[in-house]
Amino acid sequence: MIEIMRLKNLRNFPLTKKSLDNKKNLKEYLKLQRKEGKLEFDKIKVINFQKMVNRIKGDYDNEIINIEPNSYLKYNILGRIYTKYENYRLKIKNKKNCTQQRIKIIGQL
């Protein structure tokens, strides 16, 4: 809800290409908009998002992974069967872990 209100406030003025060129221009532009009464804020902090994007991209390989599309049969029929099987295996594993935890707790008493 708060995000929607913030977006509505940004409709009062357009962001220009010049204002988005660098951090200094953006700060000046926002302060100018505040003087004109189109925007209200006490403190402003501009974040260089491109640096963050580049850092995140650097954490991953640039290798492209090709994924082959699944057919209707493979996705809807075999996928459901496989999911039910995996859920069953997980349920059995959880029961074993739960039983082992109970034995462990009883053994400590």
Q: Are residues 74 and 50 both part of a single domain?
A: no
Q: Are residues 51 and 93 both part of a single domain?
A: no
Q: Are residues 53 and 13 both part of a single domain?
A: yes
Domain of 81? 69-109
Q: Are residues 80 and 49 both part of a single domain?
A: no
Q: Are residues 54 and 7 both part of a single domain?
A: yes
User: Considering its fold, how many domains does the chain have in total?
Assistant: 2
- pTM score of the predicted model: 0.41
Q: Tell me the per-residue pLDDT of 51-88, one tens digit each, with 9 for 90 and over.
A: 888 888 888 878 888 888 889 999 999 999 999 999 99
- Structural domain contains residue 54: yes
- Structural domain contains residue 84: yes
**3-state SS of the chain?**
CHHHHHHHHHHHCCCCCCCCCCHHHHHHHHHHHHHCCCCCCCCCCCCCHHHHHHHHHHCCCCCCCCCCCCCHHHHHHHHHHHHHHHHHHHHHHHHHHHHHHHHHHHHHC
Q: Tell me the per-residue pLDDT of 2-52, one tens digit each, with 9 for 90 and over.
A: 344 454 555 666 777 888 788 888 888 888 888 888 778 788 888 878 888
